[in-house]
Amino acid sequence: MAVRLPRPRRFDVCVAAGSLLGGLLLWGLGLATRPHTEPYVLLPGRWPVLLPLLVMAGCELLRRTAPRTALLIGTAAIVLDLVTQGNLVTVLMYTDLMYAAVLYGPPASAHRIPRITGLLSVAGSVVPFAVWREPEALLIGVVTGVVAFAPAATGLIVRNHRDAAEAARLRAEQTALLAEMDRTQAVTAERARMARELHDMVANHLSAIAIHSTAALSLDDPKTSQEALVVIRENSVEGLSEMRRLIGLLRDSSGDVEPAAAPTLDGLGALVEGARTNGLDVTFDAAHGTVPTPVELAAYRIVQESLTNALKHAGPGRVSVSLAQPDGLLTVAVTSPYGDRDGPSAPGSGAGLVGMRERAALLDGTFEAGPEDSPDGKIWVVRATLPVTEGEPE
């Protein structure tokens, strides 16, 4: 089975053709590197010079596609050129093959070839001088270093710079990829935060509007309709105020994470009074100290959403809200009657429970919601436990 050599590159073809023409020009002019009278010129005459020249030109075609093969064949050709009168272009092509073998060859060869040529250069200087005791003998090592070691060392330097540039390019691509991933995660987290804020701010008021408008439409009583319209107007105004505050937060370019007028636990009393106005029978019990702002906001939103769910879904009966702070934990509990509802209700999407669970998870707290049995019957319990740390968390 025949071995098919890879197709040479166009640049390598140009290098081989140009070198061959230059060598033929020197050969035609009768210019050689050594006179035929030298004792080590075993093949005198003009014609033997052409064979290593042609072989070296053929090796130039493989300088990048098969650099090690080209170097081995080129080494045999340069040895053959040494026993002829020689051609300068043949020597120059060999230096290019040495350079290409280090630059384009495998990593092992790229580090091995400069060491071998360096040792040959040293040996070419020391051994002849030790044998002949003539200063001119040192020129053998110098020529070996110029022809072999210098191009190999140059190829190694260029290869190291090329590998460093490639590694820097890969690091830049990885950095850009990580930055894009961070940006995507930040956008996703911000969208989730905006969704929680929008839901918690507006859902309570819209639920009250929907329930009271349904009651006003279903009852033919002017007094009841008037009271419902009053409640609808109050919730509409409050909902618009909350919406304006959220829009102001989104348009704020100062970089604040929360608006200056973020709700606090001190506002739970007003929140409970609003729930009573909307028709809920609510009891409120709060026993807590100073807590960090993120914990305060999360607790407020959990109570707000729990009251909204009670307004939409709870059965007739009393709703209780309690806050306690035992052992560095802020515990929020909201209970409401669980069962069939007699009056009008508002549809729910389940986003409120998801938002409350996310708020607790962001503070490394716990959250649970579901029906439980009690002496007064079945109730729906929302319970969140939020760690309270000194100062604001990072």
Q: Is 29 exposed, middle or buried (0-12, 13-18, 19+ CB in 10 A)?
A: exposed
Q: Are residues 34 and 64 in the same domain?
A: yes
For residue 344, is it within any domain?
A: no
* Banded model confidence at residue 203, pLDDT cuts 50, 70, 90: low
Range of the domain at 192: 182-254
- Check residue 338 and give its pLDDT: 80
User: CA 372 to CA 381: how far, in whole Å?
Assistant: 7
Total domains in the fold of the chain = 3
For residue 392, is it within any domain?
A: no
**CATH number of the structural domain spanning residue 380:** 3.30.565.10
- Check residue 212 and give its pLDDT: 64
Q: Are residues 187 and 240 in the same domain?
A: yes
What average pLDDT does this structure show over 366-382? 84
Q: Are residues 308 and 237 in the same domain?
A: no
For residue 1, is it within any domain?
A: no
Reported as a single tens digit per residue, the pLDDT across 57-93 is 999 999 999 999 999 999 999 999 988 998 999 999 9
Q: Are residues 237 and 278 in the same domain?
A: no
Beta strands (DSSP E) in the chain are: 281-287, 318-324, 329-337, 366-374, 377-387
Q: Are residues 102 and 15 in the same domain?
A: yes
* CB-CB contact of 203 with 305 (8 Å): yes
Q: Which amino acid is at 238?
A: E
Q: Are residues 269 and 248 in the same domain?
A: no
For residue 259, is it within any domain?
A: no
Q: Are residues 154 and 286 in the same domain?
A: no
* CB-CB contact of 98 with 60 (8 Å): no
Q: Are residues 28 and 116 in the same domain?
A: yes
What average pLDDT does this structure show over 225-240? 68
For residue 260, is it within any domain?
A: no
- Check residue 135 and give its pLDDT: 80
Q: Are residues 187 and 235 in the same domain?
A: yes
Q: Are residues 159 and 73 in the same domain?
A: yes
Task: Assess whether pLDDT exceeds 80 at residue 314.
Answer: no
For residue 70, is it within any domain?
A: yes
What average pLDDT does this structure show over 215-227? 64
